[in-house]
């Protein structure tokens, strides 16, 4: 069996997602908001069975793109790159098959880590994500992300991006 068979909830995230990231400080004050376009790939070939690309756009025109290829073992996705180390696992207590939990630690700031919870709608076309950022044992930021599925065909999105470059 492989990644998609072993992690069917996560496999339902395959495709292109558009949404909004909202970051709040520990008191609940909004400190940042920006648009996102996330590509979740499950390639049939190549060194990584999962590869995510995040493209962010701020109202002032700033843009940022980050790639997160992941390995698969022990029924988890594992990241280990210059920014983060961590893993993603499906939540076995969720009998409805909607939940994935991630843990990341930041490579350049080992005192900083976060937990992410992803909730996928039953129709697989919407998802909500929350991050709890912890530094020195204390919550200092929360992130709320609301997304909708744009297209299951991530290959078409890759082709569009290559053409635009």
The domains located in the chain, with CATH, are 3-164 (2.40.128.20)
The pLDDT of 80-92, averaged and rounded, is 95
Closest CA to 78 of 48, 39, 107: 48
Q: Is the pLDDT of residue 160 over 90?
A: no
Residue 144 and residue 164: Cα distance in Å, rounded? 30
Taking only the tens place, the pLDDT of each residue in 105-139 is: 999 999 999 999 999 999 999 999 999 999 999 99
Grouping H, G, I as helix, E, B as strand and the rest as coil, residue 60 is: coil
Taking only the tens place, the pLDDT of each residue in 27-60 is: 999 999 999 999 999 998 889 999 999 999 999 9
Grouping H, G, I as helix, E, B as strand and the rest as coil, residue 1 is: coil
Residue 160 CB contacts under 8 Å (≥ 6 apart), including other chains: none
């Amino acid at each position: 069996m492989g990644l998609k068979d072993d992690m069917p909830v996560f496999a339902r995230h395959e495709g292109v997602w558009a949404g909004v990231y909202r970051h709040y400080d520990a008191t609940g004050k909004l400190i940042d908001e920006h648009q996102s376009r996330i590509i979740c790939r499950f390639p049939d070939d190549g060194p990584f069975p999962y590869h995510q690309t995040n493209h962010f756009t701020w109202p002032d025109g700033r843009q940022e793109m980050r790639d997160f290829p992941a390995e698969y073992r022990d029924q988890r996705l594992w990241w280990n790159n210059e920014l983060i180390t961590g893993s993603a696992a499906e939540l076995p207590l969720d009998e409805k098959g909607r939940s994935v939990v991630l843990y990341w630690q930041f490579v350049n700031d080992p005192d900083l880590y976060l937990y992410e919870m992803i909730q996928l709608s039953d129709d697989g076309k919407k998802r909500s994500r929350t991050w709890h950022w912890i530094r020195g044992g204390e919550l200092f930021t929360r992130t709320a992300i609301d997304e909708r599925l744009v297209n299951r065909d991530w290959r078409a999105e890759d082709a569009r991006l290559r053409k635009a470059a």
